[in-house]
């Protein structure tokens, strides 16, 4: 597929994932523009709130993108107010889809980033896209509601829904678990407070994730929902042990009951066979490689 001159719009372009997504698409010849809620003087950037329906309509009519990657979301599960998840993740996405559908040009593909959190507390084996959703917190419910709402646009827009499992990398905020752990090792802390150490998670590398998203834009499996996952799980105990090995330092782990979440999902492992069938050669690097990159970063 030739991408020269293809215009891609990334919502949430200034976020952790958005910056990597922009770099990935630019590297493959896309003209990238972005939306976000914070001010910035970066070229091709437009400050707009997803709550601003009229503003989105006017902006999309001007931009008329060939591809859209919708990353803008309220993502931190421990965020204070439940209403905010629904305002941003559900209503904000509805406003965006309405603006795209009425911009005067139908894009080739619109990728919506949902979340593997929609699967909830299901812990038996690999979770594939047919696993019945059972969201266990407001963030997950807002993402599943977004997926259902997006179905209303399926006859008008070429939608693909991605369900990423946990992913991490350099630049992710320290209120996420792996960056918090890495940061303690980088600053040579002697102890760390964590919640439940016996949760098992499927961790991908953000660099592999954005390759998956680009691959999906180009494969255009319209109407499909696709897991993005490594297919491997590691407990937090294992993550600590890897960091100890890589850094040559030991750390004392203290379990803080305040950090043990109610409704904690015990095991989340994603079946990525659909993704691999759509994006030739895609794979996630071993978690140790990602942690080493994070530990060594400037």
Please state, in angstroms and rounded to a whole number, the distance separating the CA atoms of residues 212 and 257.
36
Q: In DSSP terms, which residues pair with 70 in a beta bridge?
A: 11, 112
Tell me if residue 139 is catalytic.
yes
Each of the 298 residues of the chain gets a pLDDT tens digit; together they read: 566 689 999 999 999 999 999 999 999 999 999 999 999 999 999 999 999 999 999 999 999 999 999 999 987 666 568 899 999 999 999 999 999 999 999 999 999 999 999 998 765 678 999 999 999 889 999 999 999 999 999 999 999 999 999 999 999 999 889 999 999 999 999 999 999 888 889 999 999 999 999 999 999 999 999 999 999 999 999 999 999 999 999 999 999 988 887 766 678 899 999 999 999 999 999 999 999 999 999 8
| 106 φ/ψ angles, rounded to the nearest 5 degrees | -90, 120
Nearest one of 206, 195, 189, 202 to 16, comparing CA atoms: 206
- Among 139, 148, 167, 213, the one annotated catalytic: 139
Please state, in angstroms and rounded to a whole number, the distance separating the CA atoms of residues 235 and 4.
42
Task: Give the pTM.
Answer: 0.95
Q: In DSSP terms, which residues pair with 9 in a beta bridge?
A: 33, 68
Q: Break the chain into its structural domains and give their ranges.
A: 7-168+204-231+268-284
E strand or H helix at 194 = strand 191-194
**Domain 7-168+204-231+268-284 has what CATH class?**
alpha beta
Exposure pattern of 129-153 as b/e (b: 16+ CB <10 Å)? bebebebbbbbbbbbbbbbebbeeb
Residue 66: which region, alpha, beta or left (left: phi > 0; alpha: psi -120 to 50)?
alpha
Strands 234-235 and 200-201: antiparallel
């Amino acid at each position: 597929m030739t991408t020269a001159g293809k215009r891609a719009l990334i919502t949430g372009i200034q976020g952790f994932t958005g910056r990597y997504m922009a770099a990935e698409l630019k590297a493959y010849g896309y003209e990238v523009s972005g939306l976000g809620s914070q001010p910035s003087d970066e070229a091709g950037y437009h400050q707009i709130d997803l709550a601003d329906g009229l503003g989105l309509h006017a902006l999309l009519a001007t931009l008329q993108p060939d591809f859209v990657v919708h990353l803008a979301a309220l993502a931190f599960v421990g965020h204070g107010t439940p209403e905010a998840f629904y305002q941003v993740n559900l209503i904000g996405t509805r406003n965006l889809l309405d603006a795209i559908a009425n911009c005067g040009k139908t894009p080739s593909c619109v990728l919506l980033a949902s979340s593997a959190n929609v699967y909830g507390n299901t812990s038996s084996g690999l979770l594939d896209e047919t696993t019945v959703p059972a969201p266990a917190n407001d963030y997950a419910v807002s993402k599943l509601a977004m997926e259902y709402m997006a179905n209303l646009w399926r006859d008008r827009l070429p939608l693909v829904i991605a369900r990423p499992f946990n992913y991490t990398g350099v630049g992710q905020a320290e209120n996420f678990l792996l960056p918090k752990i890495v940061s303690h090792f980088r600053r040579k802390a002697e102890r760390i407070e964590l919640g439940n150490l016996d949760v098992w998670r499927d961790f991908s590398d953000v660099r592999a994730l954005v390759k998956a998203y680009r691959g999906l834009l180009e494969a255009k499996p319209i109407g499909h929902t696709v897991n993005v996952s490594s297919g491997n799980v590691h407990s937090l105990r294992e993550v600590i042990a890897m960091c100890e090995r890589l850094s040559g330092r030991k750390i004392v782990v203290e379990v803080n009951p305040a950090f043990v979440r109610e409704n904690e999902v015990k095991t989340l492992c994603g079946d990525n066979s659909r993704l691999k069938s759509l994006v030739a050669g895609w794979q996630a690097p071993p978690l140790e490689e990602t942690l080493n990159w994070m530990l060594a970063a400037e």
